[in-house]
């Protein structure tokens, strides 16, 4: 069985490292993007099974990434988890309305992220 591929998009290298180490330890293949535009470009090339994205990033914010992906018929069903420091209710609503399937606020517990990744992937299967 092929490993499920997860793209993580965040402009903070420390967050990228924590997420990558956590998800690889669970057996996932992890690829990284450092801004929103890079995430969109990588998705169109490699079609990951899931996107975990920050909200506020250079070049394109996470909610914009969601909107772009949801408009593309080939990838609009790819699940998205928004993982961000923006924790206001209005931010959560904005992320979910943009197309995120789940929303987590930083700081986060790595094992909660793993549980949510499994849940979102299970729902999209």
The predicted structure's pLDDT at residue 101: 96
Cβ–Cβ under 8 Å, residues 65 and 25:
no
Q: How many other CB atoms are found less than 10 A from the CB of residue 21?
A: 11
Number of domains in the chain: 1
The predicted structure's pLDDT at residue 125: 82
113 located within any domain: yes
* CB-based burial label for 12 (10 Å; 0-12, 13-18, 19+): middle
Q: How many other CB atoms are found less than 10 A from the CB of residue 28?
A: 21
Range of 73's domain?
Answer: 5-118
Cβ–Cβ under 8 Å, residues 83 and 52:
yes
15 located within any domain: yes
124 located within any domain: no
For position 67, which CATH number holds? Answer: 3.40.50.2300
The reported pTM is 0.94
81 located within any domain: yes
**Tokens of residue 55, six digits:** 């909200």
The predicted structure's pLDDT at residue 93: 93
Q: 10-residue block means of pLDDT along the chain (125 residues)? A: 89 96 97 97 94 94 92 92 93 93 96 98 91
Which residue bears the tokens 């979910």? 96
The predicted structure's pLDDT at residue 74: 87
125 located within any domain: no
């Amino acid at each position: 069985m092929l490993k499920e591929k997860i793209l993580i998009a965040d402009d903070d290298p420390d967050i990228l490292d924590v997420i990558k180490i956590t998800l690889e330890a669970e057996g996932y293949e992890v690829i990284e993007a450092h801004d929103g535009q890079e995430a969109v470009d990588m998705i169109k090339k490699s079609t990951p099974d899931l996107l975990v994205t920050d909200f506020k990033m250079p070049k394109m914010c996470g909610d914009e990434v969601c909107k772009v992906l949801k408009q593309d018929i080939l990838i609009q069903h790819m699940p998205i988890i928004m993982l961000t420091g923006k924790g206001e209710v209005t931010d959560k609503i904005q992320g979910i309305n943009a197309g995120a399937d789940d929303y987590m606020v930083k700081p986060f517990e790595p094992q909660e992220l793993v549980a949510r990744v499994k849940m979102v992937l299970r729902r999209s299967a």
